[in-house]
Amino acid sequence: MKVAVVGATGLVGTKMLQVLAERNFPVTELVPVASEKSVGKEVEFKGNKYKIVSLADAVLAKPAVAIFSAGGSTSLEWAPKFAEAGITVIDNSSAWRMDVTKKLVVPEVNASVLTAADKIIANPNCSTIQMVVALQPLHAKYKIKRVVVSTYQSVTGTGKAAVDQLMNERNGVEGPMAYKYKIDLNVIPQIDVFLENGYTKEEMKMILETKKIMQDDNIKVTATTVRIPVMGGHSESVNVEFENDFVLSEVKDLLAAAPGVVVENDDATQHYPMPLNAHERDEVFVGRLRRDETQANTLNMWIVSDNLRKGAATNAVQIAEYLVSKNLL
């Protein structure tokens, strides 16, 4: 199968190549795509070298699937051109996520909505992906009424420039600033731009995307998203109110049996999810499970996942795997 990766030299694009190789996706020919300045350079994939091509040449190459991670403006301009050529696009930007004509997919939650007619498929926001993977089995059993989430997000979610800023600050080196403020030894309670309602764009992504993925507009979601000086994954403190009451032991069993979820919840041994341990893993790790003693039918949970993998690259590749398994490409 001929596969294009658009944005192949970026943090997420590089991770996509790694994940495609690790999961043995049936790539017979790779079409790596990057900015014009990178055209002609080479990337390595499974021991072979492939020359980076332009977006126009990638369309002409007619891959079966193109996985995009090159930003919203590139996706808005080029995804329709790929789709018109009969190429299925899996887009990692926010460009198509809330388009009512496009599917927003986390395979463990709603892959069944996909059809062969879906030529542009949206990959959700990283922080939304890990949360809905953990929430889905609980929603099916107890029906979620309201979610309050606070995130603690890795600098890798911003990109290489943010990683460089953190490491420069840690090493006492002057350099370009990806953030308005210092990030080392600091916490920045802003991810993306502020909107008129006082929420950031990242917070509204979590609110709106959760409803769409879980196919339930009645779920109330409120979010606070925060950048912290960490690499390896995003963490989330999630407070969930259900319509129906739950037994904590059953909650643990449901999560342990859920696809893509690993329960790390042992107070006695101080075993709980941390980005350090989630790094380079594809699972969503859940722990600190406890009843909210201030309100009926309400659960507190802690969710951690590698944002470059399950939060981006792995989820996109899993969508492609589902399309292959159902003969939808």
In the chain, DSSP assigns E strands to 2-6, 29-33, 42-45, 48-51, 65-68, 88-91, 103-104, 120-122, 144-153, 220-227, 234-242, 261-263, 284-291, 298-305
Q: Beta strand pairing status for 234-242 and 144-153?
A: antiparallel
| Average of per-residue pLDDT across 316-325 | 98
DSSP SS3 for 87: coil
CATH of 2-124+312-325, one of 3.40.50.970, 3.40.50.720, 3.40.50.300, 2.130.10.10: 3.40.50.720
DSSP SS3 for 266: strand
Instruction: Specify the length of the chain in residues.
Output: 329
> What pLDDT was estimated at residue 155?
98
> What pLDDT was estimated at residue 86?
98
| Average of per-residue pLDDT across 289-298 | 98
126 is catalytic: yes
Q: What average pLDDT does the structure give for the chain?
A: 97
> Which DSSP category does 283 fall into?
S
> What pLDDT was estimated at residue 15?
97
Token pair, residue 183, equals 């990030």
139 is catalytic: no
For residues 51 and 285, what is the distance between their CA atoms, to the nearest angstrom? Answer: 37
Q: Is the dihedral of CA 123, 69, 150, 299 positive or negative?
A: positive
| Average of per-residue pLDDT across 201-226 | 98
CATH of 127-307, one of 1.10.110.30, 1.20.120.1150, 3.90.79.10, 3.30.360.10: 3.30.360.10
pLDDT tens-place string over residues 183-193: 999 999 999 99
Give the amino acid at 321.
E
Of 139, 234, 271, 279, which is the active-site residue?
A: 234
pLDDT tens-place string over residues 222-238: 999 999 999 999 999 99
Where along the chain do the CATH 3.30.360.10 domains lie?
127-307
Asked if 34 contacts 26 with a C-beta cutoff of 8 angstroms, the reply is no
pLDDT category of residue 302 using cuts at 50, 70 and 90: very high
Q: What is the dihedral of CA 6, 10, 12, 18, to 10 degrees?
A: 80
For residues 72 and 267, what is the distance between their CA atoms, to the nearest angstrom? Answer: 42
> What pLDDT was estimated at residue 64?
98
pLDDT tens-place string over residues 114-124: 999 999 999 99
For residues 164 and 180, what is the distance between their CA atoms, to the nearest angstrom? Answer: 14
> Which DSSP category does 124 fall into?
P
Token pair, residue 193, equals 């731009």
For residues 224 and 94, what is the distance between their CA atoms, to the nearest angstrom? Answer: 18
Where along the chain do the CATH 3.40.50.720 domains lie?
2-124+312-325
pLDDT category of residue 41 using cuts at 50, 70 and 90: very high
pLDDT tens-place string over residues 261-290: 999 999 999 999 999 999 999 999 999 999
Token pair, residue 51, equals 């020359």
Global pTM value: 0.97
Give the amino acid at 244.
N
DSSP SS3 for 217: coil
Three-state secondary structure string covering 165-205: HHHHHHCCCCCCCCCCCCCCCCCECCCCCECCCCCEHHHHH
